[in-house]
């Protein structure tokens, strides 16, 4: 499990290492993100009143290529760092700085004797989904005319542009 007992952090850091966590993380609701093995590695240490969790999550996700619309599997390894504080552990004054400066680490407040990092690991996985997915650098995509997948077949349209601007150019001759 992705939890650490606070008292085990009093004298030393704790390493959390887990595999196959899709269900624990609630990622089984998003099958495209939950293909196993999903691996988490995290070091948790206590720095004065702050609990620092640093690590990575590694896995594979099933994406759809934006160019050819085929599904493909993509590996990722995402690093994270999170800070935790006990609820009620007052932070001195600067509540106004709501916006985190670039590179700053978010602080999460929690209660109890156990620190659970599952939420933040889940978020790291969700943030690993790329805005734009391309199955491979040289994906040729779909033919704009007939829609065939140009990675696997070629069609009659290829090479001939039906864009009227080009046919106009064809008849253009320098004076
Ligand atoms: Zn593609
Ligand atoms: Zn075509």
Tokens representing 153 are: 């077949």
> b vs e for 7-26, b when ≥16 Cβ sit within 10 Å of the residue's Cβ?
eebeeeebebebeebbebbe
| Cα 100 from Cα 49, distance rounded (Å) | 20
Instruction: Compute, in angstroms, the gap from residue 25 CA to the centroid of ligand 1.
Output: 29
Instruction: Compute, in angstroms, the gap from residue 139 CA to the centroid of ligand 1.
Output: 5
Same domain, 27 and 44: yes
Instruction: Compute, in angstroms, the gap from residue 72 CA to the centroid of ligand 1.
Output: 8
Same domain, 82 and 23: yes
Same domain, 81 and 161: no
Instruction: Compute, in angstroms, the gap from residue 13 CA to the centroid of ligand 2.
Output: 60
Q: Which ligand is nearest to the CA of 136?
A: 1
Instruction: Compute, in angstroms, the gap from residue 33 CA to the centroid of ligand 1.
Output: 19
Instruction: Compute, in angstroms, the gap from residue 143 CA to the centroid of ligand 2.
Output: 5
Written in H, E and C, the secondary structure of 113-153 is CEEECHHHHHHHHHHCCCCCCCCCCCCCCECCCCCCECCCC
Q: Which ligand is nearest to the CA of 145?
A: 2
How many domains, in total, are found in the chain?
2
| Cα 148 from Cα 157, distance rounded (Å) | 10
Strands, E, within 20-123: which ranges?
35-47, 50-64, 71-86, 107-110, 114-116
Confidence tier at 163 by pLDDT (50, 70, 90): low
**Would you call 168 helix, strand, or coil by DSSP?**
helix
Residue 68 and residue 142 in contact, taking contact as beta carbons nearer than 8 Å:
yes
* pLDDT tens per residue, range 48-105: 889 999 999 999 999 999 999 999 999 999 999 999 999 886 665 455 455 666 677 8
Same domain, 27 and 84: yes
Same domain, 167 and 100: no
Domain that holds residue 153: 140-175
pTM for this predicted structure: 0.74
Instruction: Compute, in angstroms, the gap from residue 130 CA to the centroid of ligand 2.
Output: 28
Instruction: Compute, in angstroms, the gap from residue 163 CA to the centroid of ligand 1.
Output: 23
Instruction: Compute, in angstroms, the gap from residue 83 CA to the centroid of ligand 2.
Output: 53
Instruction: Compute, in angstroms, the gap from residue 153 CA to the centroid of ligand 2.
Output: 9
| Cα 13 from Cα 11, distance rounded (Å) | 7
Same domain, 151 and 173: yes
Same domain, 107 and 172: no
pLDDT confidence of residue 76: 93
Same domain, 17 and 80: yes
Same domain, 56 and 87: yes
Same domain, 13 and 57: yes
Q: Which ligand is nearest to the CA of 150?
A: 2
| Cα 123 from Cα 44, distance rounded (Å) | 18
* pLDDT tens per residue, range 12-52: 999 999 887 777 777 777 777 877 788 999 999 999 889 99
pLDDT confidence of residue 34: 72
Same domain, 96 and 158: no
């Amino acid at each position: 499990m992705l939890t650490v007992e606070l008292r085990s952090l009093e004298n030393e850091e704790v390493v959390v290492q887990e595999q196959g966590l899709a269900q624990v993380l609630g990622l089984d609701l998003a099958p495209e993100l939950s293909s196993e093995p999903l691996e988490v590695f995290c070091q948790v240490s206590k720095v004065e009143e702050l609990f620092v969790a640093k690590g990575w999550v590694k896995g594979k996700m099933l994406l759809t290529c934006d160019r050819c619309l085929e599904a493909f599997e993509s590996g990722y390894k995402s690093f994270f760092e999170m800070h935790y504080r006990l609820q009620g552990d007052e932070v001195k004054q600067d509540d106004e700085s709501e916006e985190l400066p670039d590179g700053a680490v978010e602080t999460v407040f929690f209660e109890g004797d156990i620190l659970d990092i599952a939420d933040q690991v889940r978020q790291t996985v969700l943030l690993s989904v790329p805005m734009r997915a391309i199955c491979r650098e040289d994906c040729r995509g779909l033919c704009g005319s007939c829609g065939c997948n140009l990675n696997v077949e070629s069609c009659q349209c290829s090479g001939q542009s039906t864009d009227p601007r080009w046919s106009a150019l064809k008849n253009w001759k320098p004076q």
